[in-house]
C-alpha cells in the first residue's frame, strides 16, 4: 500500500484495525466493518449488506478525492 503511494498513485486503505494501518503508514484510512468481513455484515439482509458496502466504497472514493497532508482517518 505504501509502495503504491510511493509510486505516485493515491491509495486508500479500507481496514478494520485502524492502529495497524496507521503504524504501517497509510495516509488515507477508511475504517471497515469487521476483520473477517471488512465490507459486509452477514447479520444483515443481502440488500442491507450491499448498501453498507456501497457506503464504504463511496467513503473510500471520497477519501481519494480529498486532499490530505497527514495520515487521515475518514470516519464519516
Partner 1 sequence: MSYRIVHYINQFFAGIGGEEKADYKPEAREGVVGPGQALNAAFKGRAEIVGTVICGDSYFAEHMAEASAEILEMIRKFSPDAVIAGPAFNAGRYGTASGAVLELVSRELKIPVVGGMYPENPGVELYRKSAYIVRTSDSARGMGPAVQGMAALALKLLDGEKIGTPEEEGYIERGLRKNIFLDKVGGERAAEMLARKLRGEPFKTEYPMPVFDRVAPNPPILDMKKAVVALVTSGGIVPKGNPDHIEASSATHYGEYSLEGVLTADADHYETAHGGYDPTYANKDPNRVLPVDVLRQLEKEGVIGKLHEKYYSTVGNGTSVANAKRFGEEIVGKLKKDGVDAVIVTST
| Residues linked to residue 31 through DSSP beta bridges, in sequence order | 15
- Write the binding mask 15 to 54 for partner 1: x where contact by CB under 8 A, - elsewhere: xxx-xxx-xxxxxx---x-xxxxxxx-x------xx--xx
Residue 21 C-alpha cell reads as: 494501518
Q: Give 70 or 76: the residue with its C-beta nearer to partner 1.
A: 70
| CA–CA distance, 34 with 40 (Å, rounded to integer) | 8
| CA–CA distance, 25 with 29 (Å, rounded to integer) | 10
**By the criterion CB under 8 A, which residues form the site for partner 1?**
1-17, 19-21, 23-28, 32, 34-40, 42, 49-50, 53-54, 56-58, 60-61, 64-70, 72
Amino acid at each position: 500500500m505504501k509502495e503504491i503511494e510511493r509510486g505516485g498513485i493515491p491509495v486508500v486503505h479500507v481496514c478494520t484495525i485502524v492502529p495497524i494501518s496507521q503504524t504501517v503508514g497509510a495516509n488515507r484510512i477508511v475504517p471497515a466493518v469487521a476483520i473477517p468481513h471488512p465490507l459486509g455484515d452477514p447479520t444483515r439482509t443481502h440488500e442491507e449488506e450491499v448498501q453498507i458496502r456501497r457506503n464504504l466504497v463511496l467513503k473510500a472514493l471520497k477519501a481519494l478525492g480529498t486532499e490530505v497532508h497527514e495520515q487521515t482517518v475518514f470516519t464519516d
